[in-house]
Structure 1
Amino acid sequence: MGVLDYILAGIMEALVGNPALTLGPLVLSWPVLMVAAGFFTGVLIGATPGLSGPFVMALSLPILISSFGYTPEALLPVLGFLVGVMKGATLGGAVPAILFNTPGTPDAVMTALDGYPMAQKGQGGKALRVAQFASVTGDTFSDIVLFVCAPFLALSIEAFLGLPEKAALMILSLSFVAAVVGGDPFKGLLAACLGLFIASIATGTNTYPRLSLGSDVLAAGLPTIAVVIGLLVVGEIFAALEDIWHAARRNLDRIEITDPGDATLSMAERRRLMPFIGTSMAIGTVVGALPGIGTTLAAALGYTAGRKMHRGDTPFGKGAPEGIAATEAANSAVSGANLIPALSLGIPGNVAAVFIILAADTIGGFNPGPSVFRFTPDEVNPELVMAFGLFTLMVVGNLLNWCFGASFMRLLGSLIRIPKSVILPVVLLLTIVSTYVQGGAMTDVYILLALGVLGYLLRKGGIPVLPLVIAYILAEPLETTIRTAFEGSGADPWFLFRGVVSPLFLTLAALIVLSSGWLRRDARAGTKLKTSKGDAP
C-alpha cells in the first residue's frame, strides 16, 4: 500500500468503518459520533470553573472502555471522544474567564485580562467570537503541523536510531519534563524516580513479581488507570476541596454579565486579528511540541508577543480583542502539537496525551511510537491506518469547532454558575464509580484513593505530579528497550555510552537538569538582591 492508500483507508475507517446509524447512502459512524459528543462535553466542562478536560477524560475513559470493549473497533470511538474533549475544553475555558472573570485554568487568566473588560463594555459576545475564531485557527494550524511532522519524525527515528539511542532519548525526554515542570528540577527528578519505582511493582520481564512484599494485591500489579487517575485527578480534587474549605468564609462580590451583547465579527476585524493569531499559533505549536511544558507558558508568551506588536487605541489589559486572540491562539495550538511526541515517540507531552496513550495501551492494537508510521507496501500496517483515522477525527473536531463552537459557547452563560463545592464531590464520586466499573474490584478503588492521597501530598510539598505520571507510563517501554539493547550488545555494561548519538542524548539530559537548577537558583538570588535593595533606606 502506498501513502495515499493508507490515508484513504484511515479516512474510511474513521467515517464509515464502524457505523452507528445508516440512512440509505449516508453513514454516521461511531467515531464521528463520539468526536461530536466529546467536543460538546469538553466545551461544557471547560466552561465550568473548577473542572477541565483531564477531569472528564479521566472520568470517561473507564466507562468508554467498559462500553466499547477491547477490540480494535473500539479504539477510534474511544480516542475520538478523548480528542473531542481535548479540543472542546480548550475552547470552553474562555467562557467563564470572559463573562464572569472566573478563569478555570491558569492560561485562561490571560484571556480574562481583556475578555472581562470587553464584557463589561457590553461586548461579551464579540469577545467570545474572537476567542472561538482564534482558538479554532490555532488548533487547525497545530493539527496540520502534527499531520506533517509526526510521521516524518517517527520515520527518522526508526531509520537512524538503534535501541541504545531510543533508550537514551527516553531518558532525555524524562529529564526535560522533570526540569521544566514545576519550580524545582530536582523535585521534578524526584517525582520521575518515584514514577519509575511505582511502575516497577510486580512488573518486568521476569516471571516472579518485584516489590510485592508478599501481598497478592501487589503481586498482581497496580491497575494503570487507577494509578494515573488517582494521581492526576483525585489528588487535584482533594487539593481543590481543601482550598474551598479554607475559602468558605470569603464571599467576594462579582459583577455578572447577563447579556453578552453583540457577537458579530466582521471580516475586517478578523483580518486585523490575523497577525496576532499567526504569531501566537506559531509560538504555541513550538511550545506544544516540547514535552511537559503545557499551555500556560504558551499563553503567556503569546500574550507578551501580541502586546509588543499591538499599536491600537485600546491597550492590552483594558479590553483589546487582540489580547484575547493572542492568548487563545497560543494555548489552542498546543493541543495538536502535544501529540507530536506522543504519536511519533510514545512520549506524552501533557495530561491529555497521557490519557490518549493510556487508552491506546489499554485497548491494544495501537502502540504510539516510531513503529506506527512504518509504510509497508507488501502488507497492511493496521496501526498506520489507525493513525490516519485519528488524524481524520481531529479534522472532524475542527470542523465542529468552526461550525458550531461560537454558538455553543453563547449558550453556556447560565450553566456555569454551579459552585465548586457541589461539582467536585460529584466528580469524585463518579470517578470512583467509573474506576470500579472498569476494574470490577474494590482493590482498584482502594488503590485509586491511596494514589489520590499521594498526589495530594505531592502537591502540598510542591512536587509536580506530571513527571511522575509520564515516568510511570514510560517505565515499561524504557525497561524493555534497555534490556533488549543490553542483550543485543552482548551484555556490555557500557552499551549506552557507545557511539555518538546515545552519549550525546545522555549529556544533554544532564546539562538540561543542571542548567535548569543553576538558572533558577540565580533567578531567586537576583530576586532577593532586588528586594533587599528596594527595602534599603
Structure 2
Amino acid sequence: MGVFDYVWAGVLAVFAGPVAFEVLGIGVPITVLMTAAGFLLGIIGGATPGLAGPFLMAVSLPILLSVFGFTPDALLPVLGFLVGVMKGATVGGAVPAILFNTPGTPDAMLTTLDGHPMARNGQAGKALRTAHFASVTGDTFSDLVLFTCAPFLAIVVEAYLGFGEKAALILLSLAFVAAVVGASPMKGLIAAFLGLFIASVGTGEDVYSRLSLGTDTLSTGFPLITAVLGVLILGEVLYSFEQMWRNRRDDRPAGEAPQSGDNRLTWGERRRLMPFISVSALIGTGIGALPGIGSTLAATLGYATGQKMHKGPVPFGKGTPEGVAATEAANSSVSGANLIPVLSLGIPGNVGAVFLILAAESIGGFNPGPSVFRFSSAEVNPELVIAFGLFTTMMLANVLNWILGGQIMRATGVMARIPKPVLMPIVLLLTLTAIYVQETDFTALYFAMGFAFLGWGMRKLAVPVLPFVIAFILAGNLEQTVRQAFAASGGDPLFLFKSPLSVVFLLLGLLVILFFLRKPASEGS
C-alpha cells in the first residue's frame, strides 16, 4: 500500500465503517455519529463552568468502553467521540467567559478581559462570533501541522533512536513536564517521582509483585483509570467542595447583558482579525508541540503579542474583538499540536491526550508511538490506518465546528447559570459510576477515593497533578525501555551514557530543570 492508499483507507474506516442506523435508506456510520455527539457534548460541557473537556472525557471513556466493548471496531468510534468532546469544549469554554465573566479554565480568564466588556456594551453576539471564528481557525491550522509533522517526527525517531535514546527521551519529557507545569519546578519533580513510585506498586516484568505489602489487593497494582480519574477529576471535586464550604454560598454569575446594535461579524472584520489569529495560531501550535505546557501559556503569549500588534481605537482590556481573537486562537491551536508528541513519541502532551492514550490502551490494536507510522509497501500496517482514521475524525469535527459550532455555542449560554453546589455532586456520582463500570469492583472505588484525597492534598500544597498523571502513564514504557537498553548493552551500568544522542537528551533534561529552578530567583532579584 502507498501513502495515499493509507489515507484513503483511514477515510473509509470512518465513513464506510459500521452503520449505526439508516435514514431514508442511507446508513449513518457509527464513527461519524459518535464524533458529532462528542462535539455537541463538548460545547455544552465547555459552556458549563466546572465541566471542562477533561471532565467529560474522563466520565465518558469508561461508559463508552462498556457500551462498545474492546473489539477493534470500537476504536475509532470511541476515539472520535473523545476528539469531538475535546474540540467542542475548546470552543464552548468562551461562552461563560464572555457572557457572565465566569472563566471555566485559566486560559479563558484572558478571554474575559475583552469578551465580557463587549457583552456589557451590547456586543455579546459579536464577541461570541469572534471567539468562534478565531478558535476554529486556530484549531484547524494546528491540526494541519499535526497531520504533516507527526508522521515525519515518528519516522525520524524510529530510524535514529535505539532503546537507550528512547529511554533518555522519556526522561527528558518527564523533566520538561515537571519543570514547566506549575509554579515550582521542584514540586513538579516531586509529583513526577511520586507518579513513578505509585505506578511501580505491584507491577513490573518480574514474576513477583513489588511493594504490595504481601496483599492480594495490591499484587496487580493500581488500575490506571482509578489513578488518573481520582487525581485529576475527583481531586478537583473535593477541592471545589472545600472552596464551597469556605465560601458558604454560591457566587452566581451576573445576568446576561442585552444585545444592541449590529452583532454580525462581517468579512471585512474577519480580515482585520486574521493577523492576530495567524500570529496566535503559530504561537499556540509551537507551544502545544512541547509536552506538558498547555494552553494557559499559549493564551498569555498570544494575548500579549496581540496587544503589541494592536493599533486600534479601543485598547486591549476595554472590549476589542482583537483581544478575544488573539486569546482564543492561541489556546485553541494547542489542542491539535498537543497530539504531535502523542502520536509520534507516545508521550501525552496534555490532559485530553491522556484520555486518548487510555482509550487506545484499553481497547488495544493502536499503540501511540513511532511504530504507528511504520510504512512498508510489502505488508499493511493497521495502526497507520487507524491514525489516518483519527485524523479524519479531527477534520470532521472541524467541519462541524465551522458549520454548526457558532450556532450551538450561542445557544448554550444558559449552562453557565448552573451553580456549583448542584454541578459538583453530579460530577462526583458520574465519575464514581464510570470507574465502577470500567472495573466492576468496589476495590476500585476505594482506590479512586484514595487518589481523590491525594489529588486534593496536591492542590492544597500547590503541587501540579499533570506531572503525576503523565509519569504514572509513562512508568511502564520507561521501565520496559530501560530494561531493553540495559540488556542490549550487555549489562553495562552506564548504558544510558553510551550513545551521544542519549547523553544530549539527559543533559537537556538537566538544563531544563536547572533553568526553571533558577528562573524565579532571577525574576525576584
Q: Which residue of 2 aligns with 1:497?
A: 497
Q: Which residue of 2 aligns with 1:217?
A: 217
> Shift of residue 263 of structure 1?
3.8
Q: More deviation in 396-405 or 47-56?
A: 47-56
Q: Which residue of 2 aligns with 1:398?
A: 398
Offset from partner CA, 1:183-202 (integer Å, 9 cap, x none):
11111111111100111011
1:52 aligns with 2:52: yes
Write the distance in 1 (CA, Å) between the matches of 2:476 and 2:8.
Answer: 33
Offset from partner CA, 1:278-322 (integer Å, 9 cap, x none):
000000000100111101100010000001000111111111000
Q: More deviation in 294-303 or 25-34?
A: 25-34
Matched residue SS, 1:21 = strand
Which AA in structure 1 matches 2:36? A
Write the distance in 2 (CA, Å) between the matches of 1:249 and 1:258.
Answer: 27
Offset from partner CA, 1:35-69 (integer Å, 9 cap, x none):
11111101001101122100011111110011101
Structure 2: segments with no counterpart, 5+ residues: none
Which AA in structure 2 matches 1:180? V
Which AA in structure 2 matches 1:16? A
> Shift of residue 116 of structure 1?
0.7
Decide whether aligned partners of structure 1 residues 252 and 394 sit closer, same or farther in structure 2, where only a CA change above 3 A counts.
closer
Q: Which residue of 2 aligns with 1:170?
A: 170
Q: How does 1:472-483 map to 2 (within 5 A)?
A: 472-483=472-483
> Shift of residue 252 of structure 1?
7.3
Which AA in structure 2 matches 1:268? G
Decide whether aligned partners of structure 1 residues 169 and 83 sit closer, same or farther in structure 2, where only a CA change above 3 A counts.
same
Matched residue SS, 1:416 = helix
Q: Which residue of 2 aligns with 1:66?
A: 66
Decide whether aligned partners of structure 1 residues 509 and 253 sit closer, same or farther in structure 2, where only a CA change above 3 A counts.
closer
Offset from partner CA, 1:455-512 (integer Å, 9 cap, x none):
1001111111100100011000111111011111111111100121001100111111
Q: Which residue of 2 aligns with 1:335?
A: 335
Decide whether aligned partners of structure 1 residues 48 and 250 sit closer, same or farther in structure 2, where only a CA change above 3 A counts.
closer
The answer to whether the 8 Å contact 2:244/2:250 transfers is no
Write the distance in 2 (CA, Å) between the matches of 1:209 and 1:260.
Answer: 67
Write the distance in 1 (CA, Å) between the matches of 2:163 and 2:220.
Answer: 29
Write the distance in 2 (CA, Å) between the matches of 1:100 and 1:29.
Answer: 38
Which AA in structure 2 matches 1:223? P
Matched residue SS, 2:257 = coil
> Shift of residue 416 of structure 1?
2.2
Decide whether aligned partners of structure 1 residues 86 and 252 sit closer, same or farther in structure 2, where only a CA change above 3 A counts.
closer
Which AA in structure 2 matches 1:329? A
Decide whether aligned partners of structure 1 residues 295 and 116 sit closer, same or farther in structure 2, where only a CA change above 3 A counts.
same
Q: Which residue of 2 aligns with 1:231?
A: 231
Offset from partner CA, 1:208-267 (integer Å, 9 cap, x none):
111110111101221110110001000011111111111224757835325587541111
Matched residue SS, 2:27 = strand
Write the distance in 2 (CA, Å) between the matches of 1:331 and 1:250.
Answer: 28
Q: Which residue of 2 aligns with 1:440?
A: 440
Q: Which residue of 2 aligns with 1:530?
A: none
Which AA in structure 1 matches 2:70? Y
Write the distance in 2 (CA, Å) between the matches of 1:511 and 1:288.
Answer: 21
Write the distance in 1 (CA, Å) between the matches of 2:129 and 2:277.
Answer: 14
Write the distance in 1 (CA, Å) between the matches of 2:129 and 2:209.
Answer: 56
Q: Which residue of 2 aligns with 1:138?
A: 138
Structure 1 residue ranges, 4+ long, deviating more than 4 angstroms after superposition: 249-253, 258-262
Q: How many residues align?
A: 525
> Shift of residue 23 of structure 1?
4.6
Q: Which residue of 1 aligns with 2:512?
A: 512
Offset from partner CA, 1:54-98 (integer Å, 9 cap, x none):
001111111001110111111111111110111011100100111
Q: How does 1:93-492 map to 2 (within 5 A)?
A: 93-249=93-249, 254-259=254-259, 262-492=262-492
Write the distance in 1 (CA, Å) between the matches of 2:198 and 2:19.
Answer: 40
Matched residue SS, 2:415 = coil
Matched residue SS, 1:27 = strand
Write the distance in 2 (CA, Å) between the matches of 1:365 and 1:262.
Answer: 52
> Shift of residue 414 of structure 1?
2.3
Write the distance in 2 (CA, Å) between the matches of 1:261 and 1:51.
Answer: 32
The answer to whether the 8 Å contact 1:38/1:81 transfers is yes
Q: Which residue of 2 aligns with 1:85?
A: 85
Q: Between the two proteins, what is the percent identity of the paired residues?
A: 61
Q: Which residue of 1 aligns with 2:28?
A: 28
The answer to whether the 8 Å contact 1:196/1:472 transfers is yes
Write the distance in 2 (CA, Å) between the matches of 1:111 and 1:60.
Answer: 27
The answer to whether the 8 Å contact 2:164/2:499 transfers is no
Matched residue SS, 1:293 = coil
Offset from partner CA, 1:129-183 (integer Å, 9 cap, x none):
0000000000000000000000000000000111100000000000000000011
Structure 1: segments with no counterpart, 5+ residues: 527-537
Decide whether aligned partners of structure 1 residues 251 and 341 sit closer, same or farther in structure 2, where only a CA change above 3 A counts.
closer
Which AA in structure 1 matches 2:330? A
Write the distance in 1 (CA, Å) between the matches of 2:286 and 2:114.
Answer: 24
Write the distance in 2 (CA, Å) between the matches of 1:125 and 1:254.
Answer: 17
Write the distance in 2 (CA, Å) between the matches of 1:286 and 1:372.
Answer: 23
Write the distance in 2 (CA, Å) between the matches of 1:504 and 1:251.
Answer: 51
Matched residue SS, 1:20 = strand
> Shift of residue 25 of structure 1?
7.2
The answer to whether the 8 Å contact 2:276/2:322 transfers is yes
The answer to whether the 8 Å contact 1:122/1:262 transfers is no
> Shift of residue 22 of structure 1?
3.6
Which AA in structure 2 matches 1:242? E
Matched residue SS, 2:237 = helix
Q: More deviation in 17-26 or 213-222?
A: 17-26
The answer to whether the 8 Å contact 1:125/1:261 transfers is no
The answer to whether the 8 Å contact 2:102/2:253 transfers is no
Matched residue SS, 1:156 = helix
Q: More deviation in 248-257 or 54-63?
A: 248-257
TM-score (norm 1): 0.96
Which AA in structure 1 matches 2:236? E
Which AA in structure 1 matches 2:324? I
Matched residue SS, 1:183 = coil
